[in-house]
């Protein structure tokens, strides 16, 4: 099928579309008038990770093509989704946590989207605003009639749990109803007619689409994005440190840059399409590079992806640090984005144990790990393998006054400076 609208054409050619309720209908609508669409986000963590990046990119393109994005933070649904908070004080605390999470999560959108009060400006919403005040009996009477258990049982998420004989609580069962209600609310308040989400959200999205139709007799649309895996089949987003967070306080821009730089060859083209805004013909050129040349494409990917989240300046710095680290022998890392540790005068006199320094720089999580690293030959000081696990850093270790580079393997480095 050939798509006519800018938005769907971009989504399609860049690989964002997994399935949709009525792609043609949505396409037609998009060519007629600007629309409002939303994506819901959970507030369970303090930061998004690359898994959510697909969704964020979709919102970006939505706004770029002249439509209005709504970012819905699931303040209320997150609260309900976690049934462990039983006693009163904990519940209060977790509400507090959710608030903090939402605050932190929201910062990510400011670079990708333009917020404001204009017709095309993005809005940040929290479903707390309407779900918290729902009255159980009237909610049941008004909306409960639109959901049949028969239908709900056929949804993938439910069916799988039942087939595997995994328990599913009534609470979880209700989650999808509340999410459907979100859609209805957004449709009524903001004229929002599209919900977008990951493949796992398909069932929930369908429910929303149907609820809106039953209540208002209007057609709204659902669209899902594919689950992004690496060419080797692994779920995206794991590094040595854990998840690939988007917030800089959890993962430095340099490490973020490195994550993209280390993309597998086979993924470069796909990732350039998904996670950068480079023109398609440029991407086609880049992905044709072969052998070692494809590294240039990976650098572009890293630059653009980092700039999108952390800004041009941070991307530039990350690139320079990487260049110094991997492509030259020069040792001036002062301006780098590597973890840095300054020793005290006292430590320099007494000698700082190398094992401690590995831990303090976050290169290893225990002294034992640092010890094993040295035994295995993966530990280096200024690119010279460390032989003795008992060595110490003293004032004389700084030969020319520049920082010392401590490395765990070839890719993880930290700097040690003296006062």
Partner RNA sequence: GGAGGGGUGGCCGAGCGGUCAAAGGCAGCAGACUGUAAAUCUGCCGACGAACGUCUACGCAGGUUCGAAUCCUGCCCCCUCCA
Q: Which residues bind RNA (CB under 7 A)?
A: 165-167, 232, 234, 238-240, 258, 261-265, 291-292, 294-295, 298, 322-323, 325-327, 355, 359, 365-369, 371-373, 376-378, 389-390, 408-412
In whole angstroms, the minimum distance from the beta carbon of 234 to RNA comes to 6
In this structure, are residues 59 and 27 in contact, taking their beta carbons and an 8 Å threshold?
A: no
Q: Tell me the C-alpha distance between 412 and 232, whole Å.
A: 23
Alpha helices in 145-288 (DSSP H): 149-153, 156-163, 170-190, 202-216, 253-261, 268-275, 280-287
The residue among 68, 137, 78, 130 whose CA lies nearest residue 102 is: 78
Report the distance separating Cα 374 and Cα 377, nearest Å. Answer: 5
Nearer to RNA, 229 or 366 (CB): 366
- Nearest partner of 194 among 168, 152, 223, judged by Cα: 223
Nearer CB in complex with RNA: 5/276: 276
| Least distance CB 326 / RNA (angstroms) | 4
Measured between alpha carbons, how far is 202 from 20 in angstroms, rounded to an integer? 9
Q: In this complex, which beta carbon is closest to RNA, that of residue 36 or of residue 263? A: 263
Handedness of CA 185, 190, 192, 197 (dihedral sign): negative
Cβ closest to RNA, residue 169 vs residue 399: 169
Dihedral of the alpha carbons of 193, 7, 62, 300, in degrees to the nearest 10: 150
> In whole angstroms, how close is the CB of 243 to RNA at the nearest point?
12
64 or 394, CB closer to RNA? 394
Output the smallest distance, CB 325 to RNA, in A: 7
Cβ closer to RNA: 194 or 361? 361
User: Would you say 415 and 336 are in contact if contact means Cβ atoms under 8 Å apart?
Assistant: yes
In the complex, the smallest distance separating the C-beta of residue 307 from RNA, rounded to whole angstroms, is: 16
Our CB check for RNA shows the closer of 279 and 376 to be 376
C-beta of 229: minimal distance to RNA in Å? 12
Q: Let me know: does 255 contact 237? Beta carbons within 8 Å.
A: no
Output the smallest distance, CB 341 to RNA, in A.
Answer: 17
């Amino acid at each position: 099928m050939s798509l006519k609208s800018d938005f769907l054409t971009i989504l399609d050619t860049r690989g964002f579309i997994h399935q949709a309720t009525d792609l043609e209908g949505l396409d037609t609508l998009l060519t007629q008038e600007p629309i409002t669409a939303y994506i819901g986000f959970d507030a369970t963590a303090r930061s998004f990770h690359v898994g959510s990046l697909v969704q964020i990119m979709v919102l970006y393109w939505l706004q770029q093509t002249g439509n209005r994005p709504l970012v819905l933070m699931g303040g209320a649904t997150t609260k309900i989704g976690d049934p462990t908070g039983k006693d009163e004080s904990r519940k209060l605390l977790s509400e507090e946590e959710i608030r903090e999470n939402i605050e932190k999560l929201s910062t990510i959108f400011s670079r990708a989207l333009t917020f404001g009060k204009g017709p095309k400006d993005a809005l940040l919403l929290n479903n707390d605003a309407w779900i918290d005040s729902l009255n159980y009996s009237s909610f049941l009477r008004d909306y409960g009639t639109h959901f049949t258990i028969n239908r709900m049982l056929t949804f993938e998420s439910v069916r799988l749990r039942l087939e595997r004989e995994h328990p599913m609580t009534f609470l979880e069962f209700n989650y999808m109803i509340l999410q459907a209600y979100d859609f209805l609310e957004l449709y009524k308040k903001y004229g929002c007619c599209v919900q977008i989400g990951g493949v796992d959200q398909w069932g929930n999205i369908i429910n929303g689409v149907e609820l809106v139709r039953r209540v208002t007799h209007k057609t709204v649309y659902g669209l899902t994005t594919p689950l992004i895996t690496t060419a080797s089949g692994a779920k995206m987003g794991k590094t040595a440190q854990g998840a690939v967070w988007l917030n800089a306080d959890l993962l430095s821009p340099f490490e973020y840059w490195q994550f993209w730089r280390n993309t597998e060859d086979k993924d470069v083209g796909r990732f350039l399409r998904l996670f950068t805004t480079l023109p398609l013909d440029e991407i086609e050129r880049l992905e044709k590079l072969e052998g070692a040349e494809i590294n240039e494409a990976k650098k572009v990917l890293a630059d653009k992806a980092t700039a999108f989240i952390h800004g041009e300046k941070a991307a530039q710095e990350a690139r320079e640090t990487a260049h110094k680290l991997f492509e030259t022998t020069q040792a001036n890392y002062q301006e780098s984005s590597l973890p840095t540790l300054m020793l005290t005068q006292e430590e320099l006199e007494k000698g700082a144990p190398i094992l401690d320094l590995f831990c303090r720089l976050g290169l290893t999580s225990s002294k034992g790990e640092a010890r094993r690293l040295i035994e295995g030959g993966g530990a280096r000081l200024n690119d010279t393998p460390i032989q003795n696990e008992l060595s110490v850093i003293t004032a004389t270790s700084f030969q020319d006054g520049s920082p010392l580079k401590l490395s765990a393997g070839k890719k993880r480095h930290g700097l040690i400076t003296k006062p």
